[in-house]
């Protein structure tokens, strides 16, 4: 496998050329206290080093050896504990954390790019700090200061890790069905009892303590999702002097054997009258858990980008090196026994698909991260726009980037031919590792329904109109002749997206099932259109530098042209499928399947 | 995982209702000697039993344990040797073989359906008899009677297995680059020396002897693909009395560790002055190997169908059983804690995609198999048409069915959610096992170029016109009112396919690279159009039985409607992408990737 090289230049291009992040940060005072261009560049540079040099080398061995389970103990693969210590010592565990409790207060646009590098290096490793950071967000937002002092500071410091315990055997997507119980104790704590499955990093040997965020039901709580509360349940109690106290009856029953991410411990966790502390209000646990959902969801989307970037780097190296056949238009390297396969049109197609979709995803992810920062740190109109756009676009990020992540790792594998199927080349691991990202943290089908039903339809189209207006404003402002090759097709796509949205909303008034059957295709139409928007913006920024002799900008412009010519048309079939309506999906009884 | 149930009813529907195979067989005397409806039905019924009861149960264990390599010896997973013996004892190893040498002489339409059942049961197992049958075709067609008596009879009897040794480390797609040498010996045999990689079933403990078909170069042979000869090289020499003689210096250097098909031995094979026998003429080895290519290619395509069928059966069982959430249009099972997920539009979309594409693939595969039978056993016009259509459509079968095979196993995994990612459920194995089928036996990119460049463009569009005329004839003959909902969109698709073909041929006159960049998308446009043709035929046959109370026919008609409404539109984006031309793929230097 090619050595991973973090795409720092592309990241800085996005931050400072395409999205003018310096001005954006300046407009948000609570953020500009902590971040400026110099700080952010240094952070990403250091992150690239640790990803390239410390984490990426663990990945193959982590896949081969995986985690092991013995008598309740989980042992991680060689090197993971040490790498995490290096990572924590570097301060990375508190990168996006609240400064009041020892975090670095970096915006999502920076933590997101840091996450991408970790995922390119090794998705399995990235999950340990990733889950901890996610749980940290819920604690920071909803827990008492006492809990934050005791637990959050230690999570930010990298002393301990955290988990999110939601799923039960019969209850995944539908969390209203959970059984885990919380019984109030006299000291204000709760005794938590129940079994949770698919718990990432539920048990391991990397840190001394593990802080579980657990969804459970109080006695007499309403049925369904409105009767669920959130609790913080440590593996070991913590004494007043911050030392570890009694074992809290949190045990690991087994670990799962999975298609990929073998180095990530996926645990069955049993809580047996374990002492827990309420986070947020009673019966509002789902809301407390979901405040961090948008941050988490985009993080899962970024797994798709990280894997795709790695896949592209591997496939590109192979395609330049592997000699087979001759170019259709005549030998390009007559001195060699054959041409490198990058001369072949179909190989170029696969490589450019990967390049255009991965760079497009990174740009769109940065844009969406920016909307999350606007919602979190902005004020007034900026905040309102950030809230609207991030609510609309985070389900897109999760599902679209992970669907493309699978496509792009499969494409990379195809470029490698037989070598793509052999474990030793590492390419097939990317396919196995990224596949889970379409499933966990809400399947991509659920994301699509969140987008279309809960966001677009529930707002009567208003949230989508916010995005369409953003694109229209950009189109109106972009009158330069050399941009019209991008602006015209973007305009068409944007008009069609608006029209398709109205079409579905109207159809759903006749039959609500139209939402369910359209959701997946609609999400992808939105994705390709939004990606056209950021590709136009990248082309514009690159054209502004085209007089420089730096090939980076020429490559951007040409990749943008490829995207508009060959990939944006994907929206056409999806729209046609939606417009065929839902009748053929429901006019067939279950017994006929 | 759901127990596999062979779709015998669908198979018989295709053979006798949709494609009127009795009349077809009657029109080919050499075939009708051996096969009739009763025989064929009995064969498929018995095959279903062995696939369901003997082979399917091996698959999970075969994946977990895999083959092992120790000091040159390859040990197969538990049960494989015994299952192969049962299979051979049942006469299955000679199913499609020449009756003169002990084969059963069954047509491809029957052996193809038999292959599908083996692949649904366990792709890894299917490869052992599959490779043997493929090599048997080359031997039957090109070897001397002496070689056939000595080797082919034993392959048909299931005493021994065979391999195909083509690939070398630096030479996969481009076989002109091979190094393996053949030196003539005084006794008329040849001393073969070289290394071959990715050799399926190259070494194992299932049979006592292994017969290798090896591509090698004679001294002074022309460079490139026209200097390659084909040799039969047994692992052990065979004495005059048919007993095994001396070891022939054919050794296994190592086995590959792969993403899937763990129970299939993928070997590095070393030949060291091993005695070989020429098959066919000197320097015409590639042609001899490729006479069986069309039979083999469709066999690999069928791996995609087999895996997709299994995936659908698993996903359907899960979707009817798993309770999560409520239908958008109100609870469908209010007495249960939640509705089964089959009520959800997006789950129905995934299931119907799998159902429509898998049944459509099976129908198209049967049609293409029929064209192979016409080419092999037919005479005059029938033979000519069979030759044209099978040449055109076998690359389609290989690439289209395996691309859909991956899509459909990934879709099944998505229906299972987290359980789809866990090994214990078996669903993720289907994804890993089927993935190789897009790569081996010529990558799908190579198949697409074979279709567009070697078949369509080289015949100036004439081969494609043969297919288009077939569809037009069917359209003209099908005037019933109740068929117009299928005939009209089929007509549109067929007209568009003809127009797209001319568009590409014209564009390629300007720039030959248009062929390479269009090939993959064109193959899929052809695939969706051809599938519309067989779905229309299935709908017609089902409508003819619609008065029966058998739900099978109602299901067919409704699935056909789904295909036309929601899947046939996929061709639109592909055509738009092709029409955007190849400029954006070649106006970007290698250094800009």
Q: Tell me whether residues A259 and B571 touch, CB distance under 8 A.
A: no
Q: Which of A76-85, A165-174, A353-362, B261-270 has the lowest mean pLDDT?
A: A165-174
pLDDT of residue B364: 98
B270 neighbors B260 (Cβ within 8 angstroms): no
Give the pLDDT mean for B105-116: 97
Residue B568 pLDDT more than 90?
yes
pLDDT of residue A547: 84
Task: Provide the residue count of chain A.
Answer: 593
Chain A interface includes B565 (CB < 8 A): yes
Q: Which of A257, A436, A572 sits opposite B572 (nearest CB)?
A: A572
pLDDT in tens, A68-120: 999 999 999 999 999 999 999 999 999 999 999 999 999 999 999 999 999 99
Model's pTM, two decimal places? 0.97
C-alpha to C-alpha distance for B97 and B129, rounded to whole angstroms: 12
Domains of chain A: which residue ranges? 451-585
pLDDT of residue B566: 98
pLDDT of residue B49: 98
Residue partners of A265: CB distance under 8 A and separation at least 6: A67, A74, A76, A200, A201, A202, A203, A204, A255
Distance between alpha carbon B429 and the CA centroid of its chain, in Å?
18
Give the pLDDT mean for B31-40: 95
pLDDT of residue B547: 84
pLDDT in tens, B342-352: 999 999 999 99
Give the pLDDT mean for B86-108: 96
Chain B interface includes A422 (CB < 8 A): yes
Share of chain A above pLDDT 70, in %: 100
Give the pLDDT mean for A187-191: 97
User: Given pLDDT bands bounded at 50, 70 and 90, which one contains residue A295?
Assistant: confident
The residues pairing with B205 across neighbouring beta strands, listed in sequence order, are none
pLDDT of residue B294: 76
**How far apart are the CA of B100 and the nearest CA of chain A, in angstroms?**
37
- Helical packing angle, B380-415 and B513-544, nearest 10°: 90
DSSP 8-class letter at B260: S
Give the pLDDT mean for A472-488: 98
pLDDT of residue B1: 83
* Nearest residue to A276 (alpha-carbon basis) of A223, A215, A202, A219: A215
Element of type H or E holding A233 = strand A229-234
CB atoms within 10 A of CB B61: 15
**How far apart are the CA of B444 and the nearest CA of chain A, in angstroms?**
9
A48 neighbors A117 (Cβ within 8 angstroms): yes
Residues 297-326 of A with CB under 8 A from B: 316, 320, 323-325
3-state SS, residue A238? strand
Tell me how many residue pairs between chain A and chain B have CB atoms under 8 A apart: 283
Q: Which of A440, A512, A520 sits opposite B328 (nearest CB)?
A: A512
Place of tokens 């041929």: B505
Give the pLDDT mean for B275-296: 89
Phi, psi torsion values for B373, nearest 5 degrees: -65, -40
Residues B395, B269, B131, B148: is their CA dihedral positive or negative?
A: positive
Chain A interface includes B480 (CB < 8 A): no
* Nearest residue to A438 (alpha-carbon basis) of A307, A526, A315, A530: A307
Residue B293 pLDDT more than 80?
no
C-alpha to C-alpha distance for B533 and B99, rounded to whole angstroms: 34
3-state SS, residue B386? helix
Place of tokens 């009657």: B26
pLDDT of residue B81: 98
Q: Tell me whether residues B259 and A432 touch, CB distance under 8 A.
A: yes
Give the pLDDT mean for A318-326: 96
pLDDT of residue A315: 98
Residue partners of A250: CB distance under 8 A and separation at least 6: A210, A212, A233, A234, A235, A269, A270, A271, A274
pLDDT of residue B165: 96
Chain A interface includes B240 (CB < 8 A): no
By annotation, the residues of B acting in catalysis are: 441
User: Given pLDDT bands bounded at 50, 70 and 90, which one contains residue A2?
Assistant: confident
pLDDT of residue A413: 98
Question: What does each C-alpha distance from A368 to A372, A387, B432, B577, B584 come to in angstroms?
Answer: 6, 11, 33, 28, 28
B525 neighbors B403 (Cβ within 8 angstroms): no
Phi, psi torsion values for B52, nearest 5 degrees: -70, -40
pLDDT in tens, B69-78: 999 999 999 9
pLDDT of residue B504: 98
Burial of A74: CB neighbours in 10 Å, binned 0-12, 13-18, 19+: buried
CB atoms within 10 A of CB A61: 15
3-state SS, residue A139? helix
Residue A580 pLDDT more than 90?
yes
pLDDT in tens, A495-545: 999 999 999 999 999 999 999 999 999 999 999 999 999 999 999 999 999
Tokens matching residue B30: 């050499």
B-chain CB neighbours of A167 within 8 Å are 418
CA-based radius of gyration for chain B: 24
C-alpha to C-alpha distance for A308 and A404, rounded to whole angstroms: 8
Q: Which of A518, A551, A562 sits opposite B585 (nearest CB)?
A: A562
Does the complex come out with an ipTM higher than 0.90? yes
Pairing of strands A68-70, A181-184: unpaired
Element of type H or E holding B165 = strand B161-165
Tokens matching residue B268: 């590095």
C-alpha to C-alpha distance for A389 and A108, rounded to whole angstroms: 15
pLDDT of residue A292: 73
User: What torsion, rounded to 10 degrees, do the Cα atoms B169, B173, B177, B182 define?
Assistant: 80
Pairing of strands A161-165, A210-216: parallel
User: Given pLDDT bands bounded at 50, 70 and 90, which one contains residue A549?
Assistant: confident
Chain A interface includes B162 (CB < 8 A): no
B414 neighbors B322 (Cβ within 8 angstroms): no
Residue B416 pLDDT more than 90?
yes
* Nearest residue to B518 (alpha-carbon basis) of B531, B507, B529, B533: B507
Chain A interface includes B551 (CB < 8 A): yes
Distance between alpha carbon B529 and the CA centroid of its chain, in Å?
19
Q: What is the full DSSP assignment across A343-395?
A: GSHHHHHHHHHHHHHHHHHHHHHHHHHHHHHHHHH--HHHHHHHHHHHHHHHH
Mean pLDDT score of chain B, rounded to an integer? 96
A414 neighbors B443 (Cβ within 8 angstroms): yes
* Nearest residue to B295 (alpha-carbon basis) of B390, B359, B215: B390
Residue B134 pLDDT more than 90?
yes
Residues 63-82 of A with CB under 8 A from B: none
* Nearest residue to B497 (alpha-carbon basis) of B522, B460, B472, B534: B522
pLDDT in tens, B506-549: 999 999 999 999 999 999 999 999 999 999 999 999 999 978 88
Alpha helices (H) along A7-160 = 8-12, 21-26, 29-32, 37-49, 59-65, 80-89, 108-121, 123-142, 145-147, 153-157
Residues 321-340 of A with CB under 8 A from B: 323-325, 327-329, 337-338
C-alpha to C-alpha distance for A474 and A427, rounded to whole angstroms: 39
C-alpha to C-alpha distance for A86 and A169, rounded to whole angstroms: 36
Biggest alpha carbon–alpha carbon distance for chain B: 84
Q: Which of A443, A576, A585 sits opposite B417 (nearest CB)?
A: A443
Residue B266 pLDDT more than 90?
yes
């Amino acid at each position: 496998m090619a050595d991973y090289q973090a795409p720092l230049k592309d990241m800085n291009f996005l931050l400072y050329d395409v999205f003018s992040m310096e001005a954006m940060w300046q407009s948000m005072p609570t953020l500009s206290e902590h971040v400026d261009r110099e700080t952010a560049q240094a952070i990403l540079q250091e992150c690239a080093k640790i990803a390239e040099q410390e984490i990426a080398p663990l990945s193959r061995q982590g896949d081969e050896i995986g985690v092991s389970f013995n008598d309740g103990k989980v042992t991680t693969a060689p090197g993971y504990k040490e790498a995490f210590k290096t990572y924590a010592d570097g301060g990375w565990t508190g990168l996006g954390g609240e400064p009041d409790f020892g975090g670095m207060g970096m915006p999502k646009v920076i933590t997101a790019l840091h996450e991408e590098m970790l995922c390119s290096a090794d998705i399995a490793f990235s999950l340990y700090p990733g889950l901890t950071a996610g749980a940290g967000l819920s604690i920071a937002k909803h827990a008492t200061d006492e809990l934050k002092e005791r637990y959050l500071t230690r999570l930010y410091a990298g002393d301990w890790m955290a988990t999110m315990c939601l799923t039960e055997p019969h209850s995944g997507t539908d969390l209203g069905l959970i059984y885990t119980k919380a019984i109030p104790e006299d000291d204000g704590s709760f005794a938590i009892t129940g079994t949770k499955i698919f718990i990432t990093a539920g048990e391991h040997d990397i840190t001394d303590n593990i802080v579980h965020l657990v969804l459970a039901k109080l006695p007499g709580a309403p049925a369904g999702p409105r009767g669920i509360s959130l609790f913080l349940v440590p593996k070991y109690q913590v004494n007043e002097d911050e030392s570890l106290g009694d074992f809290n009856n949190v045990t690991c029953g087994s670990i799962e054997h999975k298609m990929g991410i073998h180095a990530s411990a996926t645990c069955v966790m049993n809580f047996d009258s374990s002492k827990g502390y309420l986070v947020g209000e009673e019966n509002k646990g789902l809301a407390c858990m979901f405040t961090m959902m948008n941050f988490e969801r985009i993080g899962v989307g970024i797994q798709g980008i990280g894997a795709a970037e790695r896949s592209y780097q591997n496939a590109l190296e192979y395609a330049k090196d592997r000699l087979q056949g001759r170019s259709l238009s005549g030998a390009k390297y007559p001195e060699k026994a054959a041409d490198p396969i990058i001369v072949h049109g179909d190989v170029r197609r696969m490589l450019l698909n990967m390049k255009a979709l991965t760079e497009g995803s990174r740009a769109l992810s940065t844009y969406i991260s920016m909307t999350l920062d606007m919602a979190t740190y902005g004020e007034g109109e900026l905040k309102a726009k950030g809230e609207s756009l991030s609510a609309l676009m985070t389900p897109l990020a999760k599902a679209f980037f992970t669907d493309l992540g699978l496509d792009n790792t499969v494409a990379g594998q195809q470029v490698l031919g037989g070598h793509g199927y052999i474990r030793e080349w590492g390419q097939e691991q990317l396919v196995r590792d990224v596949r889970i990202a379409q499933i966990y943290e809400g399947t991509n089908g659920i994301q699509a329904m969140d987008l279309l039903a809960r966001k677009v339809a529930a707002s009567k189209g208003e949230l989508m109109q916010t995005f369409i207006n953003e694109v229209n404003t950009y189109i109106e402002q972009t009158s330069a002749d050399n941009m019209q090759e991008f602006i015209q097709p973007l305009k068409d796509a944007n008009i069609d997206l608006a029209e398709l949205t109205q079409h579905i909303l109207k159809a759903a008034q006749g039959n609500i099932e139209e939402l369910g059957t359209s959701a997946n295709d609609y999400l992808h139409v939105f994705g390709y259109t939004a990606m056209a928007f950021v590709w136009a913006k990248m082309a514009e920024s690159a054209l502004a530098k085209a007089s420089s002799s730096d090939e980076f900008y020429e490559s951007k412009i040409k990749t943008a042209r490829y995207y508009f010519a060959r990939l944006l048309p994907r929206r056409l079939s999806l729209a046609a499928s939606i417009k065929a309506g839902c009748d053929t999906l429901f006019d067939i009884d279950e017994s006929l399947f």
